[in-house]
Amino acid sequence: MNPGTATVVIEAITPQIEGGKYPIKRAEGEDVVVEADVFKDGHDIVAAVLKWRKAGEEKWHETPMAPHPYNDRWRGTLTVSGTGAYEYTVEAWGDVFLSWRDEVRKKVDGGLTELTSEALEGARILRAAGGRATDSADKATLESFAKSLETAEPARLKEIALDPALEGLMRFYADRSLSTTYQPPLGIWVDRRRAAFAAWYEFFPRSAEGKSDSGSTFRDCLPRIDDAKAMGFDVIYFPPIHPIGETNRKGRNNSRTCEPGDPGVPYAIGNRRQGVNGGGHKDVAPELGTLEDFDWLVGEVRARGMEIALDFAINCSPDHPYVHDHPDWFFKRPDGTIKYAENPPKKYEDVYPLNFHCADWRNLWAEMRDILLFWAARGVRIFRVDNPHTKPVAFWEWTIAEVHAQFPDVVFLSEAFTKPKMMRALAKVGYTQSYTYFTWRTTKPELTEYLEELTQGEMADYFRANFFVNTPDILPLHLQTGGRPCFVQRAVLAATLSSVYGIYSGFELCEATPVAPGKEEYLDSEKYHFKGRDWNAPGNIKDTLTALNRARNEHPALQEYRNLRFHTSENPQILFYSKMTAARDSIVLVAVNLDPHNFQSGWVEVPINEFGWHERDSYEVRDLLTGETFIWNGARNFVMLDPRTRPAHVLEVRRWQGRERGADVYA
């Protein structure tokens, strides 16, 4: 930028991540509200536009920005469409026409009568704009206005200067020769809609039929998938589906003794003796079927309007072809043998971790990328990545960019239950979604503080939380002790606090038996054996999950992430919050009893001022879980939540005008 021509100061643009080092994230159709400090020397009136374009395009789109009346803070909004990389910036200038117009208005209003020079100056400004005009009709209109100015008396001069049609033309053909553009442009990564709004259902394909003595195949999975669809889930997440190693194969409940018929742990990936496509990460376990069977299942799932997400677990069994072909890719002990994985005191003798800093790291990194590209080419566009925090951040930044260059619609979910800074770093370098600490947040202060950090601060621009209520590895203590009410409570919280959430199968059956008291692990985990289940067992919460997912699909407010707001509840055991669209055409209030054992009641404060309503107004709220309707009045209302029958309210808000009109009329 030439300092001799830069006339406007532009600074403090938001949103931006680390000075523009990383792009912000949005999904198709979402708005980006951009703010900036824009000001200049002197008394000229400043004009500013927000500009954006898809990366690689030459032409910018732009929209005017509007200033705050007092503090030189400007705001503009853009809407993104189409996946991929975008960039945006702000351009501003001292507007010659607007400054002249303001001067004329002040002088005429002040009673000055000799304005010949001002009229001629205005005509010159208009003719200069005519020289920039590209449309002949616009040129003619500007010339007509210019001629009128030359002979105009003061009152007429002001009238012409304030003419809306003239203002529109002059804004379009503004003199930007001395404009300032913020450099370098800032980035946006735009994901497809399902990255920002989805309900995940995880199950092991080998346990699809719920048999305890034998496994299922890909061809047996459709009934389980159809049941998940009936509950309203749209992403089917499979743990690893690859060949499983035989060396050091684990038995039931992680036993070192593997009995005949024990299927092994799917995370011990690779068996070059069993695979038909190499036996590694680009192959499927023969007991599940063939690659063609998997392709068939992908097509069936897509035909149902759903998707399959695959687990990308960078683990290798001792029988993986990499161990034979690339032994230098692994960590070695002093005696030259390969080290197995450990997380003391846990030992994973059936898994060898890869060394991403080995001498042949370039080929190792390329192979990991090629695994993702292999499955993406077969129609898989969602990957849940196992333990990404144990691999270099630089590797993920490179790999995700490489995959997105060919498949910009691929979604990456980070399973990194680790230190917050590492979780944030992974999101910044490209992860679409992230697991979170929601799994362990149970109290009102914990949930409020954590959710405000996730959805209201800078994190909301790059960190998209996927709220899983449980996983095959995690049976939280509150689910072990809270009974069926706790399962309903946690489902409501996950499905309404975030726009993306998920359950691991068995949650709908309220499975809660730990391997030992105080341990957050399942007894007889299906990671180690075939899991027998009655998918319609008494006491299940399938109806609640169905109602929750229906509410999410029918109410746009629940499909957004950054619109969460907490409100006053006088009972510390009742969490009260809202979600609403910017247009207020979708408003949902949620009250959750955080105590799964006891009845709780109390007053809550509804933000009617944000609805544009008054204290005297009445309105209907309809519970989307039960169908009950209530008429509430003003801001202060009373809720009663019995954990056994009604652990939560999910309330659709509609304005009720019956009192004013003498009839039950809804707006």
The model's pLDDT over 182-201, given as tens digits with 9 standing for 90+, comes to 999 999 999 999 999 999 99
CA angle 577, 441, 486 (to 5 degrees): 80
What is the mean pLDDT of the segment spanning 326-338?
95
Predicted pLDDT at 570: 98
DSSP 479: H
Predicted pLDDT at 344: 86
**Which residues have CB under 8 Å from 606's CB, separation 6+?**
567, 578, 589, 632, 634, 635, 636, 637
Grade residue 656 by pLDDT with cuts at 50, 70 and 90: low
Length in residues, the chain: 667
Grade residue 667 by pLDDT with cuts at 50, 70 and 90: very low
**Which residues have CB under 8 Å from 393's CB, separation 6+?**
422, 425, 426, 429
Residue 173 is encoded by which pair of tokens? 């053909």
- Tens of pLDDT along 159-170? 999 999 999 999
How far is the CA of 661 from the CAs of 422, 615, 655, 664, 667, in angstroms? Answer: 58, 17, 13, 8, 12
Residue 220 CA, distance from chain mean position: 32
**Which residues have CB under 8 Å from 258's CB, separation 6+?**
249, 250, 251, 264
What is the mean pLDDT of the segment spanning 420-442?
98
Tell which residue, 632, 646, 564, has the closest CA to residue 603: 632
* Three-state SS at 555: coil
Grade residue 7 by pLDDT with cuts at 50, 70 and 90: confident
Flag whether pLDDT at 512 surpasses 80. Answer: yes
Contact call for residues 355 and 331 (beta carbons, < 8 A): yes
Phi-psi region of 130 (alpha: psi -120 to 50; beta: other; left: phi over 0): alpha
Predicted pLDDT at 2: 56
Distance CA 511, CA 470 (A): 10
* Three-state SS at 96: helix
Q: Thinking of the domain 8-190, which architecture would CATH place it in?
A: Sandwich (2.60)
Predicted pLDDT at 343: 83
Q: Which of 172-176, 255-259, 537-541 has the lowest mean pLDDT?
A: 255-259
Looking at per-residue pLDDT, the higher value among 655 and 157 belongs to 157
Predicted pLDDT at 661: 35
Domain ranges (residues) in the chain: 8-190, 200-245+272-313+361-557, 561-661
Predicted pLDDT at 307: 98
Predicted pLDDT at 124: 97
Tell which residue, 468, 495, 494, has the closest CA to residue 550: 495
Query: Are 8-190 and 561-661 equal in CATH topology?
Result: yes
What is the mean pLDDT of the segment spanning 382-390?
97
Distance CA 511, CA 391 (A): 33
Tell which residue, 310, 246, 324, has the closest CA to residue 281: 310
Homologous superfamily of 561-661 in CATH? Golgi alpha-mannosidase II (2.60.40.1180)
Percent of the chain having pLDDT more than 90? 91
Flag whether pLDDT at 659 surpasses 60. Answer: no
Task: Give the CATH class of 200-245+272-313+361-557.
Answer: alpha beta
Which pTM value belongs to this model? 0.94
Distance CA 587, CA 578 (A): 7
Predicted pLDDT at 615: 87
Distance CA 449, CA 153 (A): 63
What is the mean pLDDT of the segment spanning 151-175?
95
Flag whether pLDDT at 369 surpasses 90. Answer: yes
Catalytic residue numbers? 386, 415
**Which residues have CB under 8 Å from 143's CB, separation 6+?**
126, 127, 130
Q: Which of 410-424, 455-469, 646-660 has the lowest mean pLDDT?
A: 646-660
Predicted pLDDT at 275: 80
Contact call for residues 604 and 574 (beta carbons, < 8 A): yes
Residue 334 is encoded by which pair of tokens? 């002093």
Residue type (1 letter), 538: P
What is the mean pLDDT of the segment spanning 603-614?
93
Residue type (1 letter), 204: F
Question: What's the chain's average pLDDT?
Answer: 95
**Which single residue is written with the structure tokens 């117009």?**
101
Predicted pLDDT at 612: 85
Predicted pLDDT at 616: 86
Contact call for residues 233 and 203 (beta carbons, < 8 A): no
**Which residues have CB under 8 Å from 654's CB, separation 6+?**
619, 620, 621, 622, 666, 667
Predicted pLDDT at 3: 57
Distance CA 245, CA 228 (A): 30
Contact call for residues 586 and 580 (beta carbons, < 8 A): yes
